[in-house]
Amino acid sequence: LSEQNILDCTRTYGNGGCKGGWFTTAFQYIKDNGGIDLEDSYPYVGTLRQCIPRTRNSGVKVTGYVNLPRGDEEQLKIAVATQGPISITVHACDPTFRGYKTGVYYEGKCSANIFHHAMLIVGYGTDPKYGDYWLVKNSWGADWGEQGYIRMARNRSNHCGIATYGSYPVLQR
């Protein structure tokens, strides 16, 4: 699905593109617009452009959204397993986060109460050396981290606030 479509078209909903916003307002835009474009037809360019609202290449229609219980990693895990990708916010300002290359990310200074960046949890697992992790898709492109993904510590007291604000859209069936 097109991240650029969300960046360009949710400013009238109070979002600020790469300067911040909430995924719940993005879900509302998708609902009101009748869908969201596919990545192929509305590709990511990394800068804000004029909104091109269209649904001819719609990948999904949204009827609402669900907010997960705050700080509950077990409920987050269940939602990932049963609902699919989950939108989350994290504290991502530490240089170790921005410079992440590989491995399971854990930064003791990372706050569970400060949020700067929205990402998408797409899975979870256990690394034999570093323990439990969340597999998280970032929006900074495939040159960042593990081809655009980060493995973030799981079951480490809501590390970086990963389970504080989790939501997923309710899709039209």
- Structural contact between residues 161 and 66, judged by C-beta atoms closer than 8 angstroms: no
Residues paired with residue 67 on neighbouring β-strands, in sequence order: 167
3-state class (DSSP) for residue 34:
coil
CB-based contact 169:163 (threshold 8 Å)? no
Q: State pLDDT tens for residues 130-172.
A: 999 999 999 888 999 999 999 999 999 999 999 999 999 998 8
Delimit the domains of the chain by residue range. 3-60, 66-170
- The yes/no answer on whether domain 66-170 falls in CATH 3.90.70.10 is yes
Percent of the chain with pLDDT strictly greater than 70: 97
Nearest Cα to Cα of residue 112 among 169, 66, 72? 72
Q: Show Cβ contacts of residue 93 under 8 Å, excluding neighbours closer than 6 positions.
A: 114, 116
Q: What is the pTM of this model?
A: 0.85
pLDDT tens-place string over residues 63-93 = 889 999 999 999 999 999 999 999 999 999 8
Q: CA 51 to CA 68: how far, in whole Å?
A: 30
Amino acid in the structure at residue 166: G
**Element (DSSP H or E) covering residue 5:** helix 3-9
**pLDDT one-digit tens code per residue, 8-53:** 999 999 888 767 788 889 999 988 988 888 888 888 887 888 998 7
